[in-house]
Structure 1
Amino acid sequence: MPFADELISLHTVQSLTRAIRAAAPDADLAALRAAARQIGPLPLRQRADLLRDALLTDVPGDYATLAHTVRTARDKAPDFTGWLIWPVTGAVATRAVQEGGTAAFDDAMALLASLTGRLSSEFAIRTLLRHDLDRALRTIVGDWTGSAEVDVRRLASEGTRPYLPWAVRIPQILARPGATVPVLDALYRDESEYVRRSVANHLNDLSRDHPDLVVDTARRWLGTPTATTERLARHGLRTLIKRGHPGALELLGFPPAALDVEGPRLDRDVVPLGGSVRLTASIRNVGASAARLTIDYIVHHRKADGTRTGKTFKLTTRTLAPDERIEVTREHSFRPITTRRYYPGTHAISLQINGIESERAEFDLSPTDPP
């Protein structure tokens, strides 16, 4: 499997150049040829931007000229697909915004929808959303969410995500809570898992800034559910569940419970970097009715400045009868990984049960070699 940067490669540049030449035989394409020499050291996003700008240079003129060239390449070039579509859709959206007016904007929306099955137009649509959010949302909600094409319906949700990975932010969406909820309302019952997973990820994005809005939205959906609604809601609420948000936990059937918690207890006070620590705890339901529990543990990692930040890990989900007791245990590794840097010093572990955190058990993480 190629590294992410290599998804747009020299081969991509060559395929794009052939496709544009087939659509515009008289074009010089000097910028695309130059891009083939420049692409090597660039990361993925900059590669896409380089080819977008080269295409805009090599196909000068108004929006209609570029759109005609792209549609001709789409219809004539068999390899006009895959990662070359990212810079192409970026060029379409950029030229439409540069030209201004509603005709170019609306045509660009339609052209992006027609290309999204070849590679998602989710990055390019952000340019149009930033330019005129309300006009774009009218098309997205009014047309795309009801499209017969699954890729277009998925684009409606994915392209409007507040925190879409690799994509530019849309300040208007971040500043207007609920602006994209009508998109999600139209799609949460979609027949496609591909679309529903995007809806869940979009909902989870919204929970960063607007947790109560997300809980209220999920509550509405669960009031008139289909067979897939609970699973979607659970995935969309996953960050709030990890944070112990009371409304999200209660919505999914984990209200506060009367518990006696002993622990967590750790099997060592000092853990070498690369080693592990075992935690155990005893949990008893002291209430008068059965208690449904989601049990997590939080590792409070020491940061470079000496403060600590928590990372939540799933332990188990259990239902305890009155006076029933369970023992939970988990071994947590501090083996070095690429996504986290460990710092020596005092760390801690706590339990989180239905959003309520226990006392913390501290330990020292020591370097494997003497300082």
Structure 2
Amino acid sequence: MTDEASPLLKDILGRQALETIGDAGVAASPRFDRSAFLSAASAGLEALSIMERVRHIADALHGALPDSYPEALTIIRAMAPRLTHGFQAMAVTEYVARYGLDDFDRSMEALADLTRFGSAEFAIRPFLAADTPRALAIMARWAGSDDEHVRRLASEGGRPRLPWAARVPALKADPTLAAPILELLKADPSLYVRKSVANHLNDIAKDRPDWLLDRLQAWPQDDPHTVWIIRHALRTLIKKGEPRALALIGVGHGAAVSVRRFAVEPDVVRLGDRIAITADLASDSPDAQRLVVDYRIHYARAGGKTAPKVFKLKTFELAAGDAITLGISQTIRDFTTRRHHPGRHEVELIVNGQTMASAAFEILAADEAL
């Protein structure tokens, strides 16, 4: 590890990216005002996060393009192939989101083109919010595209809980509205598309688990692409030990196994230390069993509260009478989405949805001695 700080995500849209976008604009049309773009896009850039920069650059593009939206859109579409990073292209698609709502069909057509260069999943959200049925009807046509990028946009753009994206009121009220699109994509040959469909369904699982389980139970399981989507779409419900979800992937609720040992070592750590989690399992069954083994850490929080999080350990077949040792290590470090607090952290071993053993480790405050 070097002493140099890791580059910030927002720096992907730094000065060099602005130059690239400006050059693409000039190459696309002599009507693009590169100087005006660079001046507006550079102003106040340093203080902005990555998504704020996307919106800021889109506004700068607006000042550098012709006033006529159809003319500006022609230039935008010609710029996209000349860009060198997906986030640059996202800034271009954001121009369509911010200035193209009054030209709905032309803008949606442009987004289907632009998504090949940098996903338009965020840019499509204002169109979904403005006229959900109209946008979804267009996206359903995209599901039949020969281009995997366009098919993925049909799914990804309509995700009810798309990360970083604005929420769409209609999808929040009914997260299943895009289900006809997912039906069209349930056996898609592209892994890129299947991942989106699975993530979309997993979003739905968080709000409408029974709907999801009913729908997936009706899907044919003779296509390996469909089976892949089902397995990954159920990951949240599987972590919760939902019996119907486990059954859909061929796993019974609970298992005929004994836990001979379950340990977390060391049992006292500081931030930055590493823990090792080990489980020794032995079959108590005369038949082979498919096992889904997870572990749940109850993270200590202020005021004596805890916040549980489930992690995957292993999914495998355990032969009759066999034993296995499973292990994983994890560094105790802070993330943007998770801050660690001193205190006792319970760890549970979960086999086929049932808690079968527990252990614990303690995180010391910085000034406490080991």
Query: TM-score normalised by the shorter chain: which range applies?
Result: 0.7 to 0.9
The answer (yes or no) to whether the contact 2:346–2:358 under 8 Å persists in 1 is yes
Query: Secondary structure of 2:295's match?
Result: strand
Query: Secondary structure of 1:188's match?
Result: coil
RMSD, aligned CA: 2.9
The residue that corresponds to 2:301 in the other structure is 303
The Cα shift of 1:147 comes to 1.1
C-alpha distance 345-147 of structure 1, shift in aligned 2 (>3 A):
same
- TM-score normalised according to structure 2 size: 0.85
Query: Secondary structure of 2:75's match?
Result: helix
The answer (yes or no) to whether the contact 2:80–2:89 under 8 Å persists in 1 is no
The answer (yes or no) to whether the contact 1:260–1:284 under 8 Å persists in 2 is yes
The residue that corresponds to 1:17 in the other structure is 22
Selected match of 1:227 from 224, 227, 251:
224
The answer (yes or no) to whether the contact 2:32–2:64 under 8 Å persists in 1 is no
The Cα shift of 1:15 comes to 3.0
The Cα shift of 1:227 comes to 2.5
Selected match of 1:4 from 1, 5, 9:
9
The Cα shift of 1:367 comes to 4.1
The answer (yes or no) to whether the contact 1:144–1:152 under 8 Å persists in 2 is yes
The answer (yes or no) to whether the contact 2:77–2:110 under 8 Å persists in 1 is no
Kindly indicate whether residue 163 of structure 2 is the aligned counterpart of residue 156 of structure 1.
Answer: no
The Cα shift of 1:123 comes to 1.3
Paired residues, number: 359
Question: C-alpha deviations, 1:227-249, integer Å up to 9, x for none?
Answer: 22222221221222122122111
- TM-score normalised according to structure 1 size: 0.85
The residue that corresponds to 2:49 in the other structure is 43
The answer (yes or no) to whether the contact 1:285–1:291 under 8 Å persists in 2 is no
Query: Secondary structure of 1:256's match?
Result: coil
Selected match of 2:234 from 226, 232, 237:
237
Runs of at least 5 residues in structure 1 that lack an aligned partner in the other structure: none
1:52, 1:224 → 2: CA distance? 44
C-alpha distance 354-15 of structure 1, shift in aligned 2 (>3 A):
same
1:181, 1:78 → 2: CA distance? 32
The answer (yes or no) to whether the contact 1:96–1:105 under 8 Å persists in 2 is yes
Query: Secondary structure of 1:361's match?
Result: strand
1:302, 1:236 → 2: CA distance? 29
The answer (yes or no) to whether the contact 1:296–1:351 under 8 Å persists in 2 is yes
The residue that corresponds to 2:207 in the other structure is 209
C-alpha distance 151-260 of structure 1, shift in aligned 2 (>3 A):
closer
1:211, 1:43 → 2: CA distance? 34
2:260, 2:360 → 1: CA distance? 11
Query: Secondary structure of 1:179's match?
Result: coil
Kindly indicate whether residue 88 of structure 2 is the aligned counterpart of residue 90 of structure 1.
Answer: no
C-alpha distance 91-348 of structure 1, shift in aligned 2 (>3 A):
same
Map 1:236-315 to 2 at 5 A.
236-257=233-254, 259=256, 261-262=258-259, 265-266=262-263, 270-273=267-270, 274-276=273-275, 278-285=277-284, 290-315=288-313
Question: C-alpha deviations, 1:26-62, integer Å up to 9, x for none?
Answer: 758635422223323321111111111222334464x
Query: Secondary structure of 2:43's match?
Result: helix
The answer (yes or no) to whether the contact 1:105–1:128 under 8 Å persists in 2 is yes
The answer (yes or no) to whether the contact 2:115–2:150 under 8 Å persists in 1 is yes
Runs of at least 5 residues in structure 2 that lack an aligned partner in the other structure: 1-5
The residue that corresponds to 1:112 in the other structure is 111
Give the AA of the match of 1:71: T
The answer (yes or no) to whether the contact 1:60–1:66 under 8 Å persists in 2 is yes
The answer (yes or no) to whether the contact 2:31–2:65 under 8 Å persists in 1 is no
Give the AA of the match of 2:96: V
The residue that corresponds to 2:36 in the other structure is 30
Give the AA of the match of 1:12: A
C-alpha distance 335-269 of structure 1, shift in aligned 2 (>3 A):
closer
Identity of aligned residues (%): 35
Give the AA of the match of 2:13: I
Give the AA of the match of 1:34: A
1:308, 1:232 → 2: CA distance? 32
1:275, 1:6 → 2: CA distance? 30
2:111, 2:300 → 1: CA distance? 46
